[in-house]
Amino acid sequence: MKLSKLAQKIASLDTFKRYGRIKRVVGLMIESQGPEASIGDVCVIYPNGSAKDKAIRAEVIGFKDEMVVLMPYADISDISPGSLVESLGHPLAIKVGPSLIGKVVDSMGEPMDGSSLSKTLTSVGTEQSPPNPLSRPPISDRLEVGVRAIDSMLTVGKGQRIGIFAGSGVGKSTLLGMIARNTKADLNVIALIGERGREVREFIERDLGPEGRSRSIVVAATSDQPALMRIKGAFTATAIAEYFRDKGLNVMLMMDSVTRVAMAQREVGLAVGEPPATKGYTPSVFAIMPKLLERTGTNDFGTITAFYTVLVDGDDMNEPIADAVRGILDGHIVLDRALANKGQYPAINVLKSVSRLMSHLASEEHKQAAIHVRDMMSTYLNSEDLINIGAYKKGSSAEIDRAIEYYPKIISYLKQRTDEKVSLEESVASLIQLAEKGEW
């Protein structure tokens, strides 16, 4: 029986190799005459006069006047007219398995420290369809992330997708590092997309630390790499998270940042002739976002809880990518530069942030305490200018007097050192005590 199945597989194999020749290179695009290939297929380009170990991998991104349009995964300085192009006949696939935990890999799934991959790893495609909506179990369990402001005021569930919105230098990477070290998820998959080369090692050693790295897989695609590599980094990290979710694990996926994925897709779109639409972003950018973000969440086997950072230009929370991502995800956390300037870390603006599932996950006592604390913060901030210039007289409003008394304690509660560990139960108990007695 096994031999007959093996014979059928051998008979169905396509043993032909398909080749083409480079005709033109324009900017990021490579045009070749042949080979026979489909959109998304990986091809190998052999530079003239170079050894085969210097072959360059590229991906078919379109067709133009019977020419195959390719985009490379690496530098193309050695390519010349007439260089041979071979089609591999399949999209990009990576190797995944438990032995990958603790490693830092590139967008192709290859270890960046030069070590070799285990032969026991499984090959999976980076392009997968999101789970069927009817096969997604409802999110019903809370997930501890170890950050007091999030666990208490913006409670996250297993399988929820959250955006972290902030300008540059407000503490996105530091917050991700805190979550990676303190979370109760089974495994972290961290995608560093478009980061400065200097920051990758700094994040791994300083923000993630040995404790976080021991249960994490890091996928890094730095800003100097071609646009396609930055896009593939996001899809590779998501495919790794999906593999472990299908093994029954509760996976934490963190991507820094989805904005740089959108910028890379804009480069690709403009290179193939797409018209720039909203603020220079091409239509394919807004098509690729839901395809990427909807792949995370729950399925019948496990969960992927995802945190996506969104870099907002000029702290504009309504710029096109931020607006599109906010509409797809299950909540958003806003990091406020004004709070960071005051020394409040993590600089989470609780009043501008929301978890769309907190009302389903938190107990009634927890929800009422969070509403009360939000109300006190809102009352104080609405009267802050009057209070600071001395125009408000004590006793004019019992509500404002109470907010003035509460506000410093609330800010002290929301602050947390990067090395401070707080459980979800402790955070919620402290919040309830703060709401009832004004102390914690």
Q: Among residues 305, 335, 358, which one ends one of the domains?
A: 358
CATH number at residue 404: 1.20.1270.330
Q: Among residues 40, 66, 91, which one ends one of the domains?
A: 91
Domain count, the chain: 3
Q: Examine the domain organization and report whether 77 and 137 are in the same domain.
A: no
Q: Is the pTM of this model over 0.85?
A: yes
pLDDT of residue 52: 60
Q: Examine the domain organization and report whether 250 and 172 are in the same domain.
A: yes
Q: Is the separation of the CB atoms in 212 and 104 below 8 Å?
A: no
What DSSP assignment string belongs to 8-54?
HHHHH-----EEEEEEEEETTEEEEE-----TT-EEEEE-TT--GGG
Q: Examine the domain organization and report whether 153 and 261 are in the same domain.
A: yes
Taking the C-alpha atoms of residue 364 and residue 148, their distance in angstroms, rounded to an integer, is: 19
Q: Examine the domain organization and report whether 285 and 218 are in the same domain.
A: yes
Helix (H) or strand (E) holding 29: strand 29-33
pLDDT of residue 185: 93
Q: Is the residue at 8 inside a domain?
A: no
Q: Is the residue at 392 inside a domain?
A: yes
Residue type, position 67, single letter: M
pLDDT of residue 363: 95
Q: Among residues 306, 338, 358, which one ends one of the domains?
A: 358
C-alpha distance from residue 52 to each of 41, 56, 59, 84, 317 (Å): 20, 9, 18, 11, 48
Q: Examine the domain organization and report whether 372 and 348 are in the same domain.
A: no
Helix (H) or strand (E) holding 283: helix 283-293
Q: Examine the domain organization and report whether 245 and 202 are in the same domain.
A: yes
pLDDT of residue 14: 63
**Secondary structure (3-state) at 260:** helix
288 is written with which tokens? 């690729």
pLDDT tens across the length of the chain (440 residues): 567 777 777 766 666 778 899 999 988 789 999 898 999 999 999 987 655 667 899 999 888 888 999 999 988 877 888 899 999 988 999 999 999 999 999 999 999 988 888 888 999 999 999 999 998 999 999 999 999 999 999 999 999 999 999 988 888 888 999 999 999 999 999 999 998 888 888 888 888 888 889 999 999 999 999 999 999 999 999 999 999 999 999 999 999 989 999 999 999 998 888 898 878 899 999 999 999 999 999 999 999 999 999 998 777 778 899 999 999 999 999 999 999 999 899 999 999 999 999 999 999 999 999 999 999 999 999 998 888 888 888 888 889 999 999 999 999 999 999 989 999 999 999 999 999 876 65
Q: Examine the domain organization and report whether 179 and 310 are in the same domain.
A: yes
Q: Is the residue at 1 inside a domain?
A: no
Domain that holds residue 74: 18-91
Q: Is the residue at 11 inside a domain?
A: no
In this predicted model, what pLDDT tens digit does every residue of 114-135 receive, in sequence order? 888 888 899 999 999 999 999 8
